[in-house]
Structure 1
Amino acid sequence: MLSYLQSVSVVLLGLLVALLLSWLLNRLWSPGERKGLNDVMGWQLGVLGTTYAVILGFMLSNVWTAFRAASMDVNDEAVAVLQIFHAGDSLPDAPREAIQDLTRQYAVAMIQEEWPAMTMHRQPDGGEVILEKMWKFLPSSEFASVREASSDRIGSAVQELQHQRYRRQEQYESHLPAILWAVLIAGAIIVLLSSCLLGNDKTVVHYFHVLTLTLMILVTLTAIADIDRPFEGGVSVRDQPFRSALATMNSGH
């Protein structure tokens, strides 16, 4: 969802807020007075940090697995388009040209319409009309004379294309629920506040500790936010499989 520039801006802003919070706390409550709490706060921070690290790791692993699945499903969708194209080779000239032209139109719609629409968070529907035309092609009168030999192959490929398209639309619409984001954000705030409360006479060391912990958490959170939307943002599933499929179809191979 976030571009690289937006992700960097969020991280820098978070680091600035953490630094200001630490500075303000040191002004209002001297580090020497807080050193007596280190034994208790340090133990608590260790438990909180470990718990939150497990949550972060699980969430990052989950969204990355979903991202990889989306990437593979896009490849399968492009392969289904190629299967329809090559299955049309066994048809007479008129129906062959008709079905292969539809496959080219579908690939072009993915590249020029659906991917830009998903990037801008709009519902991708550019290929739906073309897919309906493929379904209508199967029982057409032109196709009836060769139905025995070719309908099963083309029909199976169109069915697979429909299936992969539905999977992509589901992946586009599916994201981490708000309750999980609430857990991630609340956990980050609790851990960072706990780290700010630790007392250290060497304020530079304390600032370094707070900033590095903040950096790690914010980088992970922005990565989760970006990867959670596999068709948007700086890290996203590209339309390269459809570009490759279109090039193959145009070359006649």
Structure 2
Amino acid sequence: MLWLYDLNLWFLGSSVVAVSVALAWTVCITARRLNWLIRSEDQGPAGLMHQFIGVLYAVALALLVVRVQGSYAQVEQAVVNEASAVSNLYRHLDGLEEPGRSRLQKLTRQYLDSVIQVEWPDQRN
């Protein structure tokens, strides 16, 4: 199911709507051709079935929200770990001799600037 994440959002949304409309249209045409009638005694079970489908939809939506929130927490933890690692690296560079220290500190600052100025805006898009 991870291949769904690779699909374009507009394509996925349009496909879901198109399949839903096609299915509803097919059911309506079939019901008309077979002369299905809804009797008053059939409305009780139909209502229960609608409630059951609604509950299933709510549970599926809740599970989706929990999964997205878990993914967000993992990304947040990865960002914290990277920031901590870069901070530790920068602090440990103070123990080096001068020609190498300033060069490595400059490279570390360039890396941070690249992450902040280039990578973060790219992730927002």
Whether TM-score is above 0.5 comes out as yes
Matched, 1:57 2:79: no
Q: Report the alpha carbon displacement of residue 22 of structure 1 after superposing the two structures with TM.
A: 2.8
Cross-structure match for 1:101: 107
**What residue ranges of structure 2 are gaps of 5+ in the alignment?**
none
Deviation at 1:102, TM superposition (A): 6.6
Q: 1:240 aligns with which of 115, 120, 124?
A: 120
Deviations 1:28-51 (A, max 9, x none): 3335x133422222223323422x
CA distance in 1, matches of 2:108, 2:31: 68
Report the TM-score when normalising by structure 1: 0.35
Q: Cα distance 1:84–1:94, how it changes in 2: closer, same or farther (>3 A)? A: farther
Structure that is richer in helix per residue: 2
Partner deviation per Cα, 1:3-38 (whole Å, 9 max, x = no partner): 22222222332233233223223323335x133422
- How far apart are 1:69 and its partner, in Å? 0.8
Q: Which runs of 5+ in 1 are unaligned?
A: 112-238, 244-253
Partner of 1:73: 77
CA shift digits 1:87-106 (9 cap, x unpaired): 12443224423476378569
Query: What is the percent sequence identity of the aligned residues?
Result: 12
Question: In the superposition, relative to structure 1, how do residues 9 and 66 fare at CA in structure 2: closer, same or farther (>3 Å)?
Answer: same
- C-alpha RMSD over aligned residues: 3.5
Q: Which residue of 1 aligns with 2:26?
A: 21
Aligned counterparts of 1:84 and 1:45: Cα–Cα separation in 2: 57
The answer as to 2:35 corresponding to 1:30 is yes
Task: Give the secondary-structure state (helix, strand or coil) at the position aligned to 1:34.
Answer: coil
Give the TM-score normalised by structure 2. Answer: 0.62
Higher relative contact order (CA 8 A, sep 6+): 1
Report the number of matched residues. Answer: 112
CA–CA distance in structure 2, aligned partners of residues 58 and 38 of structure 1: 28
Which residue does 2:45 correspond to in 1?
A: 40
